[in-house]
Structure 1
């Protein structure tokens, strides 16, 4: 009898213990859900994105060419997504409207440092100790502008020549413009550059298809903020995929085709100063490239001189040009362009001027 009583008591105790444990677990879960909901109430969600690994995030899964990796992820997650890059949140933008939000609407938040000061302004204020820059700082600004302009120029001219050799009819149109504006008894001078509208369209189309810098230097918000309705944490790294935006069919008809004519009607509207956020070869806003004017004038002058002075063809009567690229801070051709020149001027003395 007593053994039966103890057995029944054990069963009751075990059942009661399980009931209490289940109740405590359920209440804990309920409080946790309420805590999360209360804590997140009123906050925007984080951007969607792939799941990474502890400590390293998504770094092991990045391909060798971030343009294509980020474009593929954008096809899955949309025009803004988050990837964990080590200990940092990487926010990737492939939309002109979201780029505008970062570069113009909230440029103060995302610049995360004092805006670059133009060298001319700096030089005029050197005598004011409260606002002046040191001579070394001014030299640094000028050096950055020159180096940036030279590197961009070399890359742009090589890609332009590559595309022109692939499209002989466009090359012919460019040379016809040069002949009409300059004549075959004159060499190209700096003053001619502004008259070459078709050549300007060629340079712009080259920078659309082959932006030398496919991603801007990452922007970094100095506070928690939002982009496109998503919460962006302070110190996140914001990557704007210019290369993908330049190939967005929403703005560009047949975006994979080299068509300088697309810039002929909007030559002034689609300039290099980032006013239209679907065309940003040199960035926009406070972090815009300091070498724009130098790069533009030099690219035009060098390309005009090459096309006006010489006829060009591929070596060994080749029919096509290698388009393989090497991805880096500046995207360059994997194999240097090889082309054969021949004189256009009948007066060979012009080549010694």
Structure 2
């Protein structure tokens, strides 16, 4: 009888393990779809481990709440770089060792294959993405916007502007729009005078701003004619323009780029499977596959050695990536150090500015 009970218990345990499901929280829209096609489906096909994608406007917020409440239902989260650093510092993420990640397809160790900064104490880069601005080319018959300063010039280019509702990337964008070179943005923004300058620049278009909060919104704002130009995540505009044939044009001047990261929340219900998912997804092949789905650059050198073609089978991705040399002329790398220190303070001021007349 004891043997039968033991066998039954073991079978039940095996059945539970077989039903274990890795839940991945990401940003939805074209980005979540790209991760599903490049990472979730191939991982399940290769391992037999079920995976499910859930969406959030910003996964950092629910992940923090889950861990602090001791009720974690997500195994892997897609996080912005500064959020990954901050949540790790707060003890809310599981540690990840670079030595546990697979070598590149050329045999080079992960520690040498990932670009500098792409692997942190608790997170691994999935891609390099960018905040850019874009316009609807059907709305312009003559001169078109070519610089970040043009975004703020409503006399020269009339019409509503779409802008993300938050301090991060908006304050930097405003300073570049006011003529501050990318190399001087954070030094300027770290001073009271520089911060005032950023808000003063935003004041010049405040009455023309349509605010957005989720990454899927900017392409829709352009498509609906609610704005003539908008800041956006570059991959969302690429997906609309190349994937759906929308007349949208990216302006790379003043782009603000950073790594997106996979991380595991502290107390994830399927820790071992979550780690296997991250290893699979951030391999040479996993990162190259992601770039065939959306125009975000791989964070491994071995992935970039491959000629990556979009899922349409004809579009070469290199010119559409934030890291293409021609797109980096006046580009700003988002400073995670700055935002880890200043996020709460600057969003508080930003929200006060929003509420003011």
Structures share fold, TM-score greater than 0.5: no
Question: In which range does the TM-score fall when normalised by the shorter chain?
Answer: under 0.3
| Max Rg structure | 1
Query: What is the TM-score of this pair, normalised by structure 2?
Result: 0.27
Compare relative contact order (CA 8 Å, sep 6+) and give the higher one, 1 or 2.
2
Query: What is the TM-score of this pair, normalised by structure 1?
Result: 0.28
